[in-house]
Amino acid sequence: MSSFESIEFFQEMTLEDREWVLQSGSELQIISGTKIIAQGVPLDRMYILLQGLLTVHLDEFPEHELSCVGPGEFIGELSFLEDRLPSATVKARENSLLLQIQFEKLSGKLKEDVGFSSRFYGALARLMARRLIKNSRHLQPRIGQEIPQEIGISDALEEGLTKLKSLFLNAEELERTSEEGLTEECSQEFVNHVYELEGLVNDLIGTSSDLDSTRCEYLGRRLMTELLPYLLVTRVGERAYSKPRGYAGDYLTIEWIYQNNPSGFGPMGELMDKAVLGLSCARAVRNRRGLITAQIDRAQNLRPDHTIEVTSLACGPARELFDHYQASSGESNVQSHLIDIDEQALKFVENWRNEQDLESKIDLHHLNLVYLCLGRETLDLPQQDLVYSIGLIDYFGDGFVIRLLNYIHGLLRPGGRVILGNFHTSNRSKAIMDHLFDWKLIHRDENDMNRIFRASLFGRDCSEILYEDQRLNLFACCEKQS
């Protein structure tokens, strides 16, 4: 999985631009602890992180990480733009793969190709602007007292936040002073209020808000200022916010949402985690697991006398396949191929696969989907009956999704089915995800999905659109015609 920033960067450039960047660079494999950029040391190349994690720190404070760099991020771009020495040191937190591009080669391309130059600098400027906004949001809780007081805040939001704090304090007092501890009634009242607050926030500053974008951003920062301390004591919410794998919806975050077992720092962290797991987005994630399992079962039932080939793209914890194989008690004729860029996700799947003695049924592939779609990496698979992705394309712009569909079209046998999941524009968690978790996704509706499928090699509208129970996740389905 690539990060949001670099995905947006490449989507703003043409396919030829992206291919030039990938072909002009050289890959660099490094081990954990390797220094990639040294503070104050001249730099002659820019890097794009393809796999792994990097950390950034000042040499004066080596124990304090300024930021964590995830897959898809650029590093060294400021030295290129301003011809200055690096202002910080960058090291590999884990074994990583980078694409390095010499400044001299990039400069030559920018000088000789005016169109590329315009698109490159424009995309880079927008990327850096998004970073500035993101960093400002992260700093806001520390400087919340400097928010101009005259702007004020919505009375409804203020009331909702005040009630949340009051319920939290009442629960804490009950937990601390009562022999029975925190009661289920008190716990559920708090969870229900957080759910109501989620809807209120979405109505106030979500996509359909009547407020202008500046006002929405201000209220979003205020929301983070007020709720971040509560979020950081949770297990699921803290991981989604801190993004240790470089993006919010990593395999372990999704696995914990599936487990629906609240945890955190002490009883109050557990209570807050229970509220996070009760949000609409978390419920939708749990619901989609069973929906995809049913589609795997469907593929098997359509051809009971054949080996059924199934591929999962950006597989994450792959629990939908776990459920299928468990229910079949070893009698499944499904052969699964799981692809992910995150080695830890594949290791997680490998563990449960081996525990279930499913080595002959499931093979794992550590691959970059961007490279697969561009033809820079290949994967030899038999013709597939089902290719699906649960939580991938809402991180990507339309151009890449069309490219992905074209790749999938080539994998499918005639009559084979593709299923792509995407958060719907009606997602009542959108404002909370955007402003509290910094979990920004591209939301799409039925018309969007039909338009994308028509532009791909499938060449027509989706044959079917499925929904999880809340209808906040849609799943666009289409069969490859003979």
Give the whole-angstrom CA distance, residue 105 versus residue 31.
26
In a domain, 284, yes or no: no
| Mean pLDDT value across residues 22-48 | 86
In a domain, 283, yes or no: no
Residue 125 CB partners (closer than 8 Å, separation 6+): none
Lowest mean per-residue pLDDT among 111-125, 287-301, 459-473:
111-125
461 in the same domain as 345: yes
Q: How confident is the model at residue 158 (pLDDT cuts 50, 70, 90)?
A: confident
Question: Please, where are the H alpha helices in 183-265?
Answer: 184-205, 213-231, 236-242, 251-259
pLDDT tens digits, residue range 171-216? 999 988 888 888 899 999 999 999 999 999 999 998 888 888 778 8
314 in the same domain as 177: no
In a domain, 63, yes or no: yes
In a domain, 422, yes or no: yes
Of 111, 141, 171, which residue sits at a domain end? 141
270 in the same domain as 301: no
Residue 447 CB partners (closer than 8 Å, separation 6+): none
In a domain, 381, yes or no: yes
Whether the per-residue pLDDT at 370 is higher than 90: the answer is no
Tokens 């939908």 belong to: 320
In a domain, 347, yes or no: yes
443 in the same domain as 365: yes
CA neighbor of 26 nearest in space, from 98, 75, 90: 98
218 in the same domain as 307: no
Q: How confident is the model at residue 151 (pLDDT cuts 50, 70, 90)?
A: very low
Percent of the chain residues topping a pLDDT of 70: 92
| Residue 222 Cα distances to 147, 196, 269, angstroms | 9, 18, 21
| Mean pLDDT value across residues 322-345 | 93
Number of domains in the chain: 3
Q: What is the model's pLDDT at position 65?
A: 74
Residue 374 CA, distance from chain mean position: 21
Of 223, 246, 278, which residue sits at a domain end? 278
Lowest mean per-residue pLDDT among 15-24, 55-64, 122-131, 283-292:
122-131
Residue-range definition of the domain harbouring residue 133: 4-141
In a domain, 147, yes or no: no
11 in the same domain as 100: yes
Q: What is the model's pLDDT at position 142?
A: 44
Handedness of CA 119, 120, 123, 125 (dihedral sign): negative
Q: What is the model's pLDDT at position 71?
A: 74
- What CATH number did the domain enclosing 24 receive? 2.60.120.10
| Mean pLDDT value across residues 309-326 | 97
Q: How confident is the model at residue 360 (pLDDT cuts 50, 70, 90)?
A: very high
End-to-end CA, the chain: 31
294 in the same domain as 268: no
Tokens 């394309």 belong to: 393
Of 109, 141, 173, which residue sits at a domain end? 141
Whether the per-residue pLDDT at 145 is higher than 60: the answer is no
204 in the same domain as 161: yes
191 in the same domain as 299: no
Whether the per-residue pLDDT at 62 is higher than 60: the answer is yes
408 in the same domain as 313: yes
pLDDT tens digits, residue range 338-352? 999 899 999 999 999
215 in the same domain as 301: no
Is the whole model's pTM more than 0.85, yes or no? no
Q: What is the model's pLDDT at position 146?
A: 41
Lowest mean per-residue pLDDT among 148-162, 314-328, 337-351, 444-458:
148-162
Give the whole-angstrom CA distance, residue 378 versus residue 312.
16
Angle at 316 between CA 312 and CA 322, to 5 degrees: 70
pLDDT tens digits, residue range 2-12? 443 445 566 66
Whether the per-residue pLDDT at 362 is higher than 80: the answer is yes
133 in the same domain as 41: yes
Q: What is the model's pLDDT at position 134?
A: 59
Q: What is the DSSP letter of 74?
A: E
- What CATH number did the domain enclosing 356 receive? 3.40.50.150
CA neighbor of 94 nearest in space, from 245, 251, 248: 245
In a domain, 103, yes or no: yes
Residue 428 CB partners (closer than 8 Å, separation 6+): 198, 199, 202, 206, 280, 472
Q: What is the model's pLDDT at position 26?
A: 86
